[in-house]
């Protein structure tokens, strides 16, 4: 059991599964849904870095997602820029916008920050919706090219798109993992825990929050740009508040502030809503109570439940080892105990 739960084994197994997945299903629709959920995951990881690890719940992330998507769309369609260059520029532009907004937004805290960013997200949506001349308004943007070839590799088939997105997802997870497990990550978590305490520890909270915010928006922008290249059509709806709440639901159900929460939550909800499609909008009657239940009883989501269970198991093991040692001490003290009695105890 402990070998199976070893982190390295789990990670290798998951990557292997993700790589083999399209060859196993061979179903274009399933691959399409999976690719989309990978794109969402990148956005959720970005949100997790900020909301989960730094303690600032941003509700503007659909806006940044849309900024990434529209930047890529406009650069490729209107300006004729190469897809890859456009992808980099889209992330960069989202990051710069994130920096400017973060400078102001991060002066607020807690629910004020959430409300402020909610407004920012909605304003981004309105700008995209109303700025007909640039974004095409309600008609959206069509004819976004697929990622251009890299040497002999083309990205026209659904499988190749799947692997492209998987690559960026793994890159995102790698980055986030390294950040979280570093002094920078510890700094973010110190801010989440108590901003006042962090300040007295000599941490420049504004600088660190801004770094976290900008990174978070860049991941949202990357997800948006990949979405634009994958779906090839974007409308203002992708910047709407509901997308923010989708990302947030994935994060909360999977486990906010956990490394694997975004994967678990996104996969679960995306596939659950596929199976519940016959219910149409009544699906929310399933998700709503599920979310409420988790937040009340397991604020760290499904991954949190698993971690709690593991902690309890470890504590129990530590206790039983402790008891075993005590028993052995007693045995050593008691000179009269015969060898086979001892065997019985150990058995």
Partner 1 sequence: MFLQTKGLTKQFGGLVAVNKVDFTVEKGKINAIIGPNGAGKTTFFNLISGFHPPSAGQVIFKGRDITHLPPDQIARLGIARTFQTTHLFEQSTVLDNVIVGHRLRTSSTLWDAIFRTARHQREEKQCRDKALDVLDFVGLTDAADRLVAGLTQEAKKRAAFALALATDPEVVFLDEPAAGVNPDETDGLAELIRKMVERGVTVCLIEHKMQMIMNLADKIMVLNFGEKIAEGTPHEIMNNEDVIRAYLGGNAIA
C-beta of 215 vs 222, nearer to partner 1: 215
Query: Maximum Cα–Cα distance for the chain, whole Å?
Result: 95
Asked if 47 and 224 count as a contact pair (C-beta separation under 8 A), the reply is: no
Asked if 221 and 185 count as a contact pair (C-beta separation under 8 A), the reply is: no
C-beta of 102 vs 136, nearer to partner 1: 102
Q: How far is the CB of 183 from partner 1 (least distance, A)?
A: 5
Asked if 239 and 223 count as a contact pair (C-beta separation under 8 A), the reply is: no
Q: How far is CA 274 from CA 14, 34, 243, 285, 289, in A?
A: 22, 11, 17, 15, 18
d(CA 161, CA 154): 9
The token pair that represents 178 in the structure block: 């390294």
d(CA 165, CA 84): 13
C-beta of 21 vs 175, nearer to partner 1: 175
3-state secondary structure string across 248-291: HHHHHHHCCCCCCHHHHHHHHHHHHHHHCHHHHHHHHHHHHHHH
C-beta of 179 vs 284, nearer to partner 1: 179
Contacts of 136 (CB under 8 A, 6+ apart): none
Contacts of 168 (CB under 8 A, 6+ apart): 38, 42, 222, 226
Q: How far is the CB of 288 from partner 1 (least distance, A)?
A: 27
Q: How far is CA 272 from CA 223, 265, 269, 299, 301, in A?
A: 22, 10, 5, 21, 16
C-beta of 17 vs 174, nearer to partner 1: 174
Q: How far is the CB of 204 from partner 1 (least distance, A)?
A: 5
C-beta of 60 vs 190, nearer to partner 1: 190
Q: How far is the CB of 246 from partner 1 (least distance, A)?
A: 27
Q: How far is the CB of 119 from partner 1 (least distance, A)?
A: 28
C-beta of 108 vs 273, nearer to partner 1: 108
Q: How far is the CB of 215 from partner 1 (least distance, A)?
A: 8
The token pair that represents 128 in the structure block: 């995209």
Interface with partner 1 (CB under 8 A): 175, 178-179, 182-187, 189-190, 193-194, 196-205, 211, 215
Q: How far is the CB of 190 from partner 1 (least distance, A)?
A: 5
């Amino acid at each position: 059991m402990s070998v199976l739960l070893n982190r390295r084994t789990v990670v290798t197994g998951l990557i292997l599964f993700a790589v083999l997945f399209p060859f196993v299903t061979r179903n274009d629709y399933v691959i399409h849904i999976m690719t989309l959920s990978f794109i969402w995951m990148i956005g959720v990881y970005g949100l997790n870095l900020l909301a989960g690890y730094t303690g600032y719940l941003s509700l503007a992330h659909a806006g940044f997602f849309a900024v990434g998507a529209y930047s890529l769309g406009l650069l490729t369609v209107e300006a004729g820029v190469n897809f890859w260059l456009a992808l980099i520029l889209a992330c960069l532009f989202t990051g710069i916008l994130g920096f400017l907004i973060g400078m102001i937004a991060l002066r607020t805290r807690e629910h004020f920050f959430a409300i402020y960013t909610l407004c920012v997200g909605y304003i981004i949506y309105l700008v995209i919706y109303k700025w007909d001349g640039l974004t095409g308004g309600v008609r959206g943007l069509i004819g976004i090219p697929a990622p251009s070839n890299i040497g002999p590799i083309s990205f026209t088939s659904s499988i190749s798109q799947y692997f492209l997105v998987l690559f960026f997802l793994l890159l995102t997870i790698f980055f986030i993992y390294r950040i979280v497990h570093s002094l920078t990550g510890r700094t973010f978590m110190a801010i989440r825990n108590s901003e006042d305490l962090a300040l007295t520890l000599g941490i420049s909270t504004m600088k660190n929050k801004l770094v976290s915010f900008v990174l978070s928006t860049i991941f949202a922008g990357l997800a948006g740009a990949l979405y634009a290249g994958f779906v090839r059509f974007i409308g203002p709806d992708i910047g709407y508040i509901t997308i923010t709440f989708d990302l947030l639901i994935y994060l909360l159900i999977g486990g906010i502030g956990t490394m694997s929460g975004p994967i678990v939550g996104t996969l679960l909800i995306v596939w659950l809503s596929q199976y519940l499609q016959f219910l149409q909008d009544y699906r929310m009657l399933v998700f709503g109570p599920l979310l409420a239940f988790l937040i009340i009883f397991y604020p760290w989501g499904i991954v949190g439940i698993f971690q709690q269970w593991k902690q309890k198991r470890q504590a129990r093991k530590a206790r039983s080892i402790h008891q075993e040692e005590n028993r052995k001490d007693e045995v050593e003290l008691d000179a009269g105990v015969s060898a086979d009695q001892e065997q019985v105890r150990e058995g």
